[in-house]
C-alpha cells in the first residue's frame, strides 16, 4: 500500500528551481509516512520544465532518498531518451512517462515510444496514463502490446479502467485523491498530489484501511475530498504551494506561470476554509 506523492517543483522569484526547498519538502514527506517521491509529474509541472530542470529535480530528490520515480515524458524523443540514460547512472525505483500528447498519432507510435524507452532503460518503466490531460488512453490492451511496462499510474475517475491493469500483474496505482480509499483497498497504493500538503491524512487513511475500519476510512476520505475540492477555484497546483507553507510549516517557493501565484488575501481565504474542514 504505497503512498506516492508527485512533488511540487519549488521556484524562486527569478523562476529558477530552489534546491534547498526540494530537500526540506522530501524529508518532511518521508517523515509523515510517504513511501515514494514522483518527480516531474503533473503537480510538479513536468510539461513546463526544461530537460535540465527535470534532471535537477531528480538529483535533488535522490539526495534525500532513492525511493524515487522519475517522470521523463516529453514531445521530443531525443530528450526522453537522454533523460532515461541520465537515470541509468542513478539508483531509483523506476522511470515513468506519459504518452506523447498534443499530436494526433496512431496507437503504434505510442507503442513504439514506450518500447524505445524500455530498450534504453536499465530501470523498470512505468506508464503515467492520464487520458483527461493527454487525450491518449494507454489502456490495458495497449500496455499488453507494449509488453515491457512494469507499473502504471492511472489518473482516471473510471476505477474499473484502473483495476484492469492488475490482470497483467504489474504495479497499479490510481492517481485521484477521491479514490485513495479504493486504491489502498484494491491496488498497490495511491498517487496523490494533495499528499504534498496533507500527507498525514493519507497516512491515517491507509491505517484505517489496513485496520479494516471502514467507517473511519470513509469519513476521512470524504474530508480529504472536501479539502481537495476547495482548492479547485484557486488552481489546484498553485494552491498547494501555499497550503504546504501554512499546513506543513515551511516554504516550497512559488509556482511557475501559467500556474500563477495567488494574492495573499486569496491565500488567507483558502487556508481558512481548508483549516476549518481539516479540524471539523
Cell numbers for 241: 504551494
The least distance separating ligand ELE from the CB of residue 49, rounded to whole angstroms, comes to 12
The least distance separating ligand ELE from the CB of residue 133, rounded to whole angstroms, comes to 7
Residue 60 CA to residue 231 CA, distance in Å, equals 27
Q: Could you tell me which of 164, 168, 162 has the C-alpha nearest to residue 178?
A: 162
Neighbour-count burial of 226, counting CB atoms closer than 10 A to its CB (0-12 exposed, 13-18 middle, 19+ buried): middle
The least distance separating ligand ELE from the CB of residue 232, rounded to whole angstroms, comes to 8
Closest residue to ligand ELE, Cβ-based? Answer: 41
DSSP state of 245: I
The one catalytic residue in 56, 153, 171, 236 is: 153
Cell numbers for 272: 481558512
DSSP state of 46: G
User: Would you tell me which residues interact with ligand ELE (CB under 6 A)?
Assistant: 6, 38, 41-43, 153, 155, 175, 191, 193, 236
Cell numbers for 278: 481539516
Q: Which lies closer to ligand ELE via its Cβ, residue 108 or residue 260?
A: 260
Q: Could you tell me which of 119, 128, 53, 62 has the C-alpha nearest to residue 89?
A: 62
Cα angle 46-108-119, degrees, rounded to a multiple of 5: 65
Q: Which lies closer to ligand ELE via its Cβ, residue 112 or residue 170?
A: 170
The least distance separating ligand ELE from the CB of residue 108, rounded to whole angstroms, comes to 26
Q: Which lies closer to ligand ELE via its Cβ, residue 75 or residue 214?
A: 75
Give whole-number Cα distances, 79 to 55, 75, 244, 253, in Å.
11, 8, 31, 27
Q: How far is CA 120 from the centre of its chain?
A: 23
Q: Which lies closer to ligand ELE via its Cβ, residue 112 or residue 235?
A: 235
DSSP state of 99: P
153 catalytic per annotation? yes
The least distance separating ligand ELE from the CB of residue 129, rounded to whole angstroms, comes to 10
Q: How far is CA 184 from the centre of its chain?
A: 16
Q: Which lies closer to ligand ELE via its Cβ, residue 55 or residue 236?
A: 236
What are φ and ψ of residue 262, in 5° steps? -100, 150
Q: Supply the residues annotated as catalytic.
A: 153
Amino acid at each position: 500500500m504505497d503512498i506516492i506523492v508527485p512533488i511540487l517543483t519549488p521556484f524562486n522569484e527569478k523562476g529558477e528551481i530552489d534546491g534547498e526547498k526540494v530537500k526540506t519538502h522530501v524529508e518532511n514527506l518521508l517523515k509523515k509516512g510517504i513511501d515514494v517521491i514522483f518527480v516531474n509529474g503533473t503537480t510538479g509541472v513536468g510539461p513546463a520544465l526544461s530537460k535540465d530542470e527535470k534532471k535537477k529535480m531528480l538529483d535533488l530528490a535522490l539526495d534525500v532518498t532513492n525511493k524515487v520515480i522519475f517522470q521523463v515524458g516529453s514531445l521530443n524523443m531525443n530528450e526522453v531518451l537522454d533523460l532515461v540514460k541520465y537515470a541509468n547512472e542513478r539508483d531509483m525505483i523506476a522511470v515513468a512517462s506519459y504518452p506523447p500528447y498534443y499530436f494526433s498519432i496512431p496507437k503504434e507510435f505510442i507503442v513504439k515510444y514506450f518500447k524505445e524507452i524500455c530498450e534504453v532503460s536499465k530501470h523498470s518503466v512505468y506508464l503515467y496514463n492520464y487520458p483527461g490531460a493527454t487525450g491518449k488512453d494507454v489502456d490495458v490492451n495497449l500496455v499488453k502490446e507494449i509488453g515491457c511496462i512494469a507499473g502504471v499510474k492511472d489518473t482516471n475517475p473510471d476505477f474499473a479502467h484502473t483495476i484492469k491493469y492488475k490482470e497483467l500483474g504489474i504495479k497499479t496505482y490510481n492517481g485521484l485523491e477521491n479514490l485513495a480509499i479504493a486504491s489502498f483497498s484494491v491496488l498497490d497504493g495511491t498517487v496523490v498530489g494533495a499528499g504534498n500538503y496533507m500527507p498525514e491524512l493519507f497516512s491515517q487513511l491507509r491505517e484505517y484501511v489496513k485496520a479494516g475500519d471502514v467507517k473511519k476510512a470513509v469519513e476521512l476520505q470524504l474530508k480529504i475530498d472536501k479539502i481537495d475540492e476547495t482548492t479547485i477555484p484557486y488552481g489546484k497546483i498553485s494552491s498547494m504551494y501555499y497550503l504546504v507553507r501554512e499546513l506543513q510549516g515551511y516554504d516550497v517557493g512559488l509556482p511557475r506561470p501559467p500556474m500563477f501565484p495567488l494574492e495573499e488575501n486569496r491565500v488567507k481565504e483558502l487556508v481558512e476554509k481548508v483549516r476549518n474542514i481539516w479540524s471539523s
